[in-house]
Structure formats: structure tokens, C-alpha cells
Structure 1
Amino acid sequence: MARESYAAVLLTQGEHRFYQLAMPSDVLGACTFVSTRDDNPEDGFQRLLNQQRAKEISSYIDTGHGTIPTSVILSAQETCNLEYDSRNKTVSFDIAPRSFLILDGQHRVYGFRMAETRVRVPVIIYAGLSRRDESRLFIDINSKQRGVPSELLLDIKKQAEYENTEEQLFREVFDSLNNDPSSPLFGLLSPAKRAKGKISRVTFNAALKSIYPAISARDPQEIHEILSEYLASVRDQILRNGGDSEIIVNSVTFRALVSFFIHAARRVKDRFGPDYTVENFDLVLSPLFDSIRISNLTGTSQSKILEYLEKHFRGEFQL
């Protein structure tokens, strides 16, 4: 059986001691395993592998520019015969398929294994853990660490030059609505985080995605102007019928109202041509808002709100 040795640093945190080292990705892949609830219901605690996620990691590494500095966390099993040489500051162990249980980083490990490129991977190795200790560490690691909010990731994608065409369009429309004092959404948008009483970039993008085929040929300024006219009309209709304009910042309601924009814009175009003004939106929306309960524009289902609007919009048509 092959045996490897690597320079390592011994660290202590609380009641646990662990080793910090860099391990070649092919060695890491050859001596690690996961324990899942599905194949080991008695002791398993990890989730099943998402093959697509691992594949994305391998592709990222194989680009030649990929870097994943986060440590993979392992628990040494008895079969690996882990030893620490305090004089030379090295750890040595036997290479076997079940030498180390992965506590955190299974998708990274499998992504490294699938990649053609070999890299050195930061690794943390705990030794002498019981299954209870391993389970508790797994819980602690996955409950204490938090991912970066989606809103922040979207906000900085431009700087990273990671935006696709759709995301770029949505960002430019969002930013212009956010910065324009005459916009009905001025002061009601939150670019980089979720905020109570405001529409996040994630909610905004999800809303515009539902109407993207209809707006993709327009430039950001045109979309800004048309949406502003539509949303201003909706806000005015809500107020005129005794509602609170704050309803528009409810994430579910906002997505439903933006999805309904297609129906309203089509009616405006049929009657007035492509003249998307507040006045024209008012003329086609007034009968609708006069026939509905504003309270029904809130709830937990975007599809139900949209269905409610569509039903009454069709019902108000007269020759």
C-alpha cells in the first residue's frame, strides 16, 4: 500500500486538534469518501453528490484560470494510519479509498477528481474523531458558515466581467430606475442586499426575466422609460382604489405585476400604437383596477396573483 507524507501545521481550536496542509488533487481523490444518509442510514449524514455541480468545478479548474482556495475538511479514519512527525512537521498516511471521510467539500473533491488538471488543494485533517464528533462538526460547519448573498453576487458581477447579456440588461435597467428621482421605484430598490420595504436585485431580475422576450430588443433606457410609465400607472391605480402604494415592493406582488406588464402593454399597443405613456396605461388599467380587490394583490403565490389579474382583465373587455 502506498504511503504519502506532506508538510503540515498542527493547530488547536477548542477541544479539537487538526492538521493544515496542501495535498495533490489526484491523491485527495484517491483516498477520500463520503457517507450519505442514503447508502448508510445508520451513520451517514452527508447529502448526495450533485454531479452537475462537480462537473462545473472540474471545468472551472481545467480553464487554467480557476482557483479554489477554500480548504477541504477531512476526518482521518483508522485505516489510513495517520502519523505526525513533530520534528519534521509532516503528516504521513496510507493511500486507500476510505482513508479520509469528507466533512466539507465533497463537490470540490469530486470536481478535482473529474478535472484533467492536477492542482494542490488546501486540506484540513482532523484525527481521532468519533462518528458523533464527525456528525457534530458537519453540523457546525454547515450551519455556521454562510454563503455570499445572491444580491451581492449580482451587484459585483460587472466588476468580475461575469455578466451575460441578460444580466447586463437587467443591471442597467435596475441602476437607472434606482438613480432616477422621477422613477416610481426611486428609493425602493436595494442593489446589494435584501432590505425590508425594498425590491432586491434578485427579485427585480426574476421579474424582468418573465418578460425578457418582449423587451430584449429595446435598449436599457427605453425599457426604463416604458416600465416607469407602467409602474407609475399601477401605483396610481392602487392609490385611487384605496390601496397602499407600498404593496408594489412586496416581492411576490412585484413579480406578478411585472409579468402582467405584457398584457397591459399589448392592450396599449392595440389601442394607441407603441405609445407607452402613463395616460395610455391608465386608460387600459382603470377598468381592471375598478373591478378587483387590491387586497388580492398580496399573497405567497405569484401565479395566483397573475391569474387573478388576467381573469379580470379579460372580463372587462366590451365591444
Structure 2
Amino acid sequence: MQKKLVCNTLKVQWRTAKLLIFAQNLTMGTIMAKESYSAVLITQGEHRFYQLAMPSDVLSSCTFVSTRDEDPDKGFQRLLDKKRAKEIATYIDSGHGTIPTSIILSAQEICGLEYDSRNKTISFEVLSGSFLILDGQHRVFGFKLAETKIRVPVIIYDGLSRRDESRLFIDINSKQRGVPSELLLDIKKQADYENSEEQLFREVFDKMNGDPNSPLFGRLSPSKRVKSKISRVTFNAALKSIYPALTSRTPGEIQEILSEYLASVRDQIIRNGGDENILLNSITFRAIVSFFIHAARRVKDRFGPEYTIDNFDVVLGPLFDNIQIAKLSGTSQSKILDYLEKHFKGEFQL
């Protein structure tokens, strides 16, 4: 009886010891319960991957990024832009955020990935090094920063070598194409995403694009980049440099004043033997628009707020008579602007 009691006591002690060891290993991260999710197995070419939905908190706790700076021999990801990740987190927490694009991962050996073909599920251990992120690191970090937890579409590749991971990263980032900035700006009004500045620029752009008397009529491209035309992105960037001077005017007034100014510049270029299409160079256009402030101030000093083509001709004529038109087609907006300012102030020396 006593032997039996001792034996039972030893068994209890042994089980307790095993539980303590298990708890210690669990705390240290050496033992983790496996997560299991429904998944679809897909084969494309020589690769196979799993498609599933994973909770964002699980996703952020079992993925990692290899950067070129941290691991120059094996890494290939660009460094994380924390500002971008925070913007994603804010977007998710707004309650209206939805990001349906899949995060692409490569399963590492440590996660012990298993696929149950009968139940169509995959299981893996949730460890910090379970999956290498091939695409979507900013989204993953944004999910981690967000207070709201969501289910995230995920693609998991299994059995990739480091070479395979690197090549797949290159393929993903070279084959997929983002939406042009011009198109995004063009549809912001429909999405009700415009701020007051963008709204003003859009209205001025559209008025110039639709006015046959505008020097930019037929020379603007609203939703895409077109050779020898000014895109909406270039137009907005140009007007941004003079925005403070425009806020007291309506879009119609701004369009009219800028049209008079640009028409005067165009005529001065032609009069001095230049090609008027130089204005359609994006760098030149931004520099010329930035210079508008200097020309408008001189017009106002001499004629009051009468911004007509004739008045602009009076103040711009001497300037264009003393510059080399070819200098307006440089590769630096700031250099073109400096060149114009120096001549306009009479401070330029040969």
C-alpha cells in the first residue's frame, strides 16, 4: 500500500515537472500551439501556394522582413516607411478601411507548415520567424499598429529557397503596375476624397482644358501621361508653388489670369525665336508657373490688379529679350527659376 502511494506521488511529481517544463518552454517560445485555417491549394508553373484568410493580429505576430540594410547578403526588401504604415493603421481604424489585396508570404521551416488535403486546411506554429514577407510589409505593419483586428487575405508559398524568394520578390514587384497618379487625381472628385487645394486645382485645370481661348487648350491630359501634354499631376505640382497667392480668387479668375500670363510667355518665346512647345516640358512648365508670382507682382506695381496679356508683355518683354530661350529647357526647375529671377532683377552677370 505504501509502495503504491509512493509510486502515485512520484507520478504526480513527474507530471507536475513536465507541466512546468512545458510552461517554461511555452514562455520562451519554443512550444506553440498550432493555428489552423481553411485554405485552397493552387499550383502555378513550378510553384504551389495556399490561399487563405488570417487574423491580422496572428499575421503580424508570425511574419518578418529581411532588408538589404540589415542583411546585405540575403535581404532584398526595402526599408519600412513607418509613416505609410501609420496611414494604413488609421485607415483601418476609421471603420471604412478595406484592403483586399493579398499579403504574400514564404513559409520558413521553423513554422512546421502542414496541409490537410482531406479537410482543406493548413496548420503552422505562430512564431516570430514563421513567414518571410515577400509583398505587403507596410500593410502588415499597419495591421499591427491598428487597434481594429480584421481578417486578411494571404498567399503562402511553401518550400522556397532563398534564391526562389528573391526571384519571386523581383517578379512580384516588376510585373505588377500601380494605378497612375494622374488617374487617381482625376477620380478623386467621384470618391469625395479631394481636399480644398486639390478641388481648386482640378477646377482651374478643367476650365483651361475646356476653354478654346486658353493657351493650354488641347494641351492638357486629365487622367494619364501623354507626350507633349501637361498632366494633371504636373499641373497640380506647378500651382502648388503659387497656391498662397491664389486663395482669394475664384477658379474662374485664376484660370483667366494664368491664361493671360502663359499666353504672354508663349508669345515672348515665339518672338525671340523659340519653340512654344517648350512650355509643355513638365520641368519648364513648373518653373514658368513658379515665376508667375514675380511677374504678377511687377504687373500689380505698375498697373494695379489688371493681369492682362498686354500688361504681362510690358513686364516680361525686357526679360525675354535678354535671356537664352534654350536655357528654359534644362533638367532642374530650381535652376530655370533662378535664371529667370536673376535676369528679372537685373542682377545677372556674364
Fold conserved between structures, TM > 0.5:
yes
Aligned with residue 248 of structure 2, among 217, 225, 236:
217
C-alpha distance after superposition, 1:176-208 (max 9, x if no partner)? 000001100001100001110000111101100
Q: Are residue 315 (structure 1) and residue 320 (structure 2) matched? A: no
Partner of 1:72: 103
Q: Are residue 136 (structure 1) and residue 167 (structure 2) matched? A: yes
**Contact 1:287-1:316 at 8 Å conserved across structures:** no
Query: In the TM superposition, what are the counterparts of 1:83-102 in structure 2 within 5 Å?
Result: 83-102=114-133
One-letter amino acid of the structure 2 residue matched with residue 237 of structure 1: Q
Question: For 1:251 and 1:95, how far apart are their aligned partners in 2?
Answer: 51
Deviation, structure 1 residue 41: 1.8
Q: Are residue 46 (structure 1) and residue 77 (structure 2) matched? A: yes
Aligned with residue 244 of structure 1, among 257, 275, 287:
275
Partner of 1:63: 94
Deviation, structure 1 residue 42: 1.9
Report the structure number with the largest CA radius of gyration.
2
Partner of 1:234: 265
Q: Are residue 121 (structure 1) and residue 152 (structure 2) matched? A: yes
Query: In the TM superposition, what are the counterparts of 1:63-212 in structure 2 within 5 Å?
Result: 63-212=94-243
Question: For 2:74 and 2:147, how far apart are their aligned partners in 1?
Answer: 33
Deviation, structure 1 residue 50: 1.1
Identity level (%): 79
SS in 2 for 1:315: coil
Partner of 1:15: 46
C-alpha distance after superposition, 1:20-44 (max 9, x if no partner)? 0000001101111111112222211
Q: Are residue 37 (structure 1) and residue 82 (structure 2) matched? A: no
Aligned with residue 276 of structure 1, among 284, 295, 307:
307
Detail structure 1 runs of 4+ shifted over 2 Å in the superposition: none
SS in 1 for 2:74: coil
One-letter amino acid of the structure 2 residue matched with residue 193 of structure 1: K
Question: For 1:166 and 1:256, how far apart are their aligned partners in 2?
Answer: 20
One-letter amino acid of the structure 2 residue matched with residue 160 of structure 1: A
Question: For 1:68 and 1:127, how far apart are their aligned partners in 2?
Answer: 24
Question: For 1:233 and 1:91, how far apart are their aligned partners in 2?
Answer: 69
C-alpha distance after superposition, 1:186-244 (max 9, x if no partner)? 01100001110000111101100010011111110000000000001111111111111
Partner of 2:33: 2
Give the stretch that moved more between structures: 172-181 or 32-41. 32-41
Question: For 2:317 and 2:141, how far apart are their aligned partners in 1?
Answer: 57
Question: For 1:252 and 1:39, how far apart are their aligned partners in 2?
Answer: 37
**Contact 1:247-1:253 at 8 Å conserved across structures:** yes
Partner of 2:324: 293
Q: Are residue 259 (structure 1) and residue 283 (structure 2) matched? A: no
Aligned with residue 28 of structure 1, among 59, 68, 73:
59
Deviation, structure 1 residue 253: 0.6
**Contact 1:104-1:138 at 8 Å conserved across structures:** yes
Gaps of 5+ in 1: none
**Contact 1:237-1:289 at 8 Å conserved across structures:** yes
Deviation, structure 1 residue 316: 8.7
Deviation, structure 1 residue 8: 0.5
In the comparison of the two structures, how many residue pairs are matched?
A: 317
One-letter amino acid of the structure 2 residue matched with residue 97 of structure 1: S
Question: For 1:64 and 1:274, how far apart are their aligned partners in 2?
Answer: 48
C-alpha distance after superposition, 1:33-74 (max 9, x if no partner)? 111112222211111111111111111000010000000000
Superposition RMSD on alpha carbons, in Å?
1.1
Question: For 1:37 and 1:184, how far apart are their aligned partners in 2?
Answer: 48
Give the stretch that moved more between structures: 61-70 or 41-50. 41-50
Gaps of 5+ in 2: 1-31
SS in 1 for 2:156: strand
Task: Specify whether residues 34 and 316 from structure 1 end up closer, same or farther in structure 2 by C-alpha distance, changes over 3 A only.
Answer: closer
Task: Specify whether residues 316 and 272 from structure 1 end up closer, same or farther in structure 2 by C-alpha distance, changes over 3 A only.
Answer: farther
C-alpha distance after superposition, 1:65-100 (max 9, x if no partner)? 000000000000111111111111111111111111
